[in-house]
């Protein structure tokens, strides 16, 4: 708690923000430390905020990411962690909607993170530090990394095709979610139940 208080005093100029985050830290500190002991028994942190990139040969596409934290176990395998101030995605959401941990694991296994040798990824997890502590492990047992990476490559390759096109609001988790392209696609002038009409704009 003293570390968090000192960090907030040094880096956050707004009093209410400092009070808000100090209160959050008070609620999650015990669980955070308990789980951190478990993490450090599994491996030693070797990188924080580390940039990574992985190029898919033949299609002029490079995947980039920043890993919040990468640990290495005694057997050489890696553990990847991503901190979330909001609610971490559930395993089901990770299988269908949120592939962040899968993609970072693929970068790590291919040696794409700076100064991190390629190695198998033993696990990856979201660490939620919002209103309460919550840890969500990536469901690698249900969907293996290799299969997820092949699906991702197939998806990117499909978008190289002129006939594929780009669907507005594709695969959002909720109809209430916002898309970065809602304004561009003029969402609101059309609805999700409308039948799409392909149009050649060339």
Question: What is the C-alpha to C-alpha distance for residues 94 and 137, in angstroms, rounded to an integer?
Answer: 9
Residue 85 counted as domain residue? yes
Shared-domain flag, residues 52 and 152? yes
Residue 54 counted as domain residue? yes
**CATH number assigned to the domain comprising residue 112:** 3.90.320.10
Instruction: Give the global pTM.
Output: 0.87
Condensed to tens digits (0 to 9), the pLDDT of residues 123-139 reads 999 999 988 899 999 99
Structural domains in the chain (count): 2
Shared-domain flag, residues 57 and 153? yes
Condensed to tens digits (0 to 9), the pLDDT of residues 55-100 reads 998 888 999 999 999 999 999 999 999 999 988 999 999 998 899 9
For residue 42, give the nearest of 80, 68, 79 by alpha carbon. 79
């Amino acid at each position: 708690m003293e570390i968090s208080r000192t960090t907030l005093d040094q880096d956050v100029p707004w009093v209410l923000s400092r009070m808000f985050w100090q209160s959050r830290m008070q609620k999650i500190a015990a669980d955070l430390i308990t789980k951190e002991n478990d993490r450090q028994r599994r491996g030693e942190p070797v990188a924080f905020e580390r940039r990574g990139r992985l190029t898919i040969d033949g299609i002029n596409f490079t995947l980039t990411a920043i890993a919040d934290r990468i640990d290495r176990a005694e057997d050489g395998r890696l553990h990847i962690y991503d901190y979330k101030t909001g609610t971490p995605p559930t395993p089901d959401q990770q299988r269908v909607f949120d592939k962040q941990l899968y993609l970072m694991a693929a970068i790590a296994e291919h040696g794409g993170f700076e100064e991190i040798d390629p190695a198998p990824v033993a696990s990856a997890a979201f660490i939620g530090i919002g209103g309460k502590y919550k840890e969500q492990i990536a469901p690698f047992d249900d969907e293996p990394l290799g299969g997820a990476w092949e699906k991702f490559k197939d998806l990117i390759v499909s978008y190289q095709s002129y006939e594929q096109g780009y669907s507005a609001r594709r695969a959002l988790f909720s109809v209430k979610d916002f898309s970065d392209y809602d304004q561009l696609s003029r969402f609101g002038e059309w609805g999700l139940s409308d039948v799409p009409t392909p149009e050649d704009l060339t």
